[in-house]
Amino acid sequence: MLTLVWFRRDLRLADNPALVAAARDGAVCPIYIHDPEAKDRQGGAGRWWLHHALAALDASLGRHGLALIIRRGPALETLRGVIHETGAEGVRWNRLYDPPLIRRDRHVKQALRDAGVDVHSHKADLLHEPWTVRTGQGSDYRVFTPFWRALRRLGEPEAPLAVPDLQGPLARPWSEPLGALGLLPRIPWDTGLREAWTPGEEAARRLDRFVTDALPRYHTDRDYPAIPGTSRLSPHLHFGEVSPRQVWAATTEADPEGPGTAAFRTEIGWREFAHHVLFHHPELPDEPLDRRFRGFPWRADPAGELLTAWRSGCTGFPIVDAGMRELRTTGWMHNRVRMVAGSLLVKNLRLPWQLGERWFRDNLVDADPASNALGWQWVAGCGADAAPYFRIFNPIRQGERFDPDGDYVARWVPELAALPPRQRHAPWEAAANVLARAGVRLDRDYPSPVVDLRESRQAALDAFARIKGD
């Protein structure tokens, strides 16, 4: 029996349930479909990663005597065509949980089954399906801690699956060249991404180094952006180059009871929670879950000057500007800095959180639809288990606390690197002679703050007061 394995965001051979099941049935024909109808919400950085991840997957398959078949077109029509060409009797894939993709996949599954094709989908992207974690009343969760407890009560995740023995089709179908998908930028802005990342399943083995070198201190180091204390696995998880079961198993083997493991597994839990919320609330990427915020009095920014300053890392708040420049250069930003940058946008600048969600979606290599939207609604105070709106991060204090020596700022805002560490987070407060010795001229070398923190904080609280009783 020949089975098509439809790869999507599961670009790996190990712990791939659809691939294992297909190999058990007989020959395997791996296929990737670039579906214009998918509405996958993938930004430019994500498309860059996808190109290189597909190349890496094809190379991995090649070492097993197979080749990745690439096609463009609507999923159902494309699968029907390949089934007709190859005589395949089955199709298998691993489930995704973005609402538009769920609708598409249900339609494809039913149509192919009606045509007599053996079709199955599998769980591979999460520890537990979003619909299996329910409250005592049978509803979905809106608060993380009880969700996490309920998920843990479902038991330990299954052990990861090994790479199966693979046999390809007798005749290899034609394939589009990868470059025909147009995933890479036409203007080469991706130099920083190429320097920072290596997509693919082999590169995802950074997991092994992380659990050895950084996991024991993760609970303390993860908040400091100048320290390599995080796993940087998020893009590999998003594109399925490593599975959450593999992550769980690796932490179990390394240090199952350690505080670093507990903190890191909680972050895996937040990823599960984000998909749970998106599954039950498909409007999450666009509409606030707290309906009061639909009438929030956002600030007018007719010329887009405030938004442009934030996007370009020129707000005058060094920790925020460092993060935004790191994002634009590498396609990634430290999570602590994401929260601080997001707070400045939605509270001090008082611009809609959806603008931040879209910018991150286009520039992050790990722009997961669920986690990105949940994170922005958390910062804005309008989502599931969100921070209270009146929790407004002070970027100066956050910088002083989590970048105490100013190393992170010095790296990404080099025009401030010659300042003493204490002045790097608020250069406008430095004495004139200190600025002169460092060669810093405010509003020429580095901008003054675009807003007054105290005044903008009060304006944000006043705006919230207008909706909180609705």
Q: Are residues 216 and 272 in the same domain?
A: yes
Catalytic residue among 77, 85, 287, 335: 335
Task: Report the domain count for the chain.
Answer: 3
- Any catalytic annotation for residue 310? no
Residue 470 lies in a domain: no
Average pLDDT, integer, range 98-106: 93
For all residues of the chain together, what is the average pLDDT? 95
- Any catalytic annotation for residue 267? yes
Q: Are residues 233 and 298 in the same domain?
A: no
Residue where a domain stops, chosen among 124, 143, 175: 124
The domain in which residue 20 lies consists of: 2-124
pLDDT tier at 183 (50, 70, 90 boundaries)? very high
Specify the higher pLDDT residue, 38 or 47: 47
**366: CATH:** 1.10.579.10
Residue where a domain stops, chosen among 124, 150, 176: 124
pTM of the model: 0.96
pLDDT tier at 387 (50, 70, 90 boundaries)? confident
Task: Please give the pLDDT value at position 95.
Answer: 97
Catalytic residue among 267, 287, 400, 415: 267
Q: Are residues 449 and 351 in the same domain?
A: yes
Task: Please give the pLDDT value at position 364.
Answer: 98
- Any catalytic annotation for residue 394? no
Catalytic residue among 6, 49, 197, 270: 270
Task: Please give the pLDDT value at position 469.
Answer: 67
Catalytic residue among 48, 148, 353, 359: 353
Tell me if 94 sits within 8 A of 124, measured CB to CB: yes
Q: For 305-319, write each residue's pLDDT tens digit.
A: 999 999 999 999 999
Task: Please give the pLDDT value at position 37.
Answer: 76
Whether 331 has a pLDDT exceeding 80, the answer reads yes
Average pLDDT, integer, range 77-83: 97
Whether 190 has a pLDDT exceeding 80, the answer reads yes
- Any catalytic annotation for residue 335? yes
Catalytic residue among 6, 248, 376, 412: 376
Q: Are residues 405 and 306 in the same domain?
A: yes
Q: Are residues 264 and 155 in the same domain?
A: yes
- Any catalytic annotation for residue 298? yes
Q: For 54-74, write each residue's pLDDT tens digit.
A: 999 999 999 999 999 999 999
Q: For 336-357, write each residue's pLDDT tens digit.
A: 999 999 999 999 999 999 999 9
Task: Please give the pLDDT value at position 288.
Answer: 96
Q: Are residues 109 and 130 in the same domain?
A: no
Q: Are residues 430 and 347 in the same domain?
A: yes
pLDDT tier at 468 (50, 70, 90 boundaries)? confident
Task: Please give the pLDDT value at position 388.
Answer: 84
Residue 259 lies in a domain: yes
Task: Please give the pLDDT value at position 425.
Answer: 97
Residue 168 lies in a domain: no
Q: Are residues 444 and 394 in the same domain?
A: yes
pLDDT tier at 389 (50, 70, 90 boundaries)? confident
Task: Please give the pLDDT value at position 470.
Answer: 57
- Any catalytic annotation for residue 174? no
What are the CA-CA distances from residue 327 to residues 42, 332, 333 (Å)? 16, 5, 5
Catalytic residue among 89, 298, 400, 428: 298
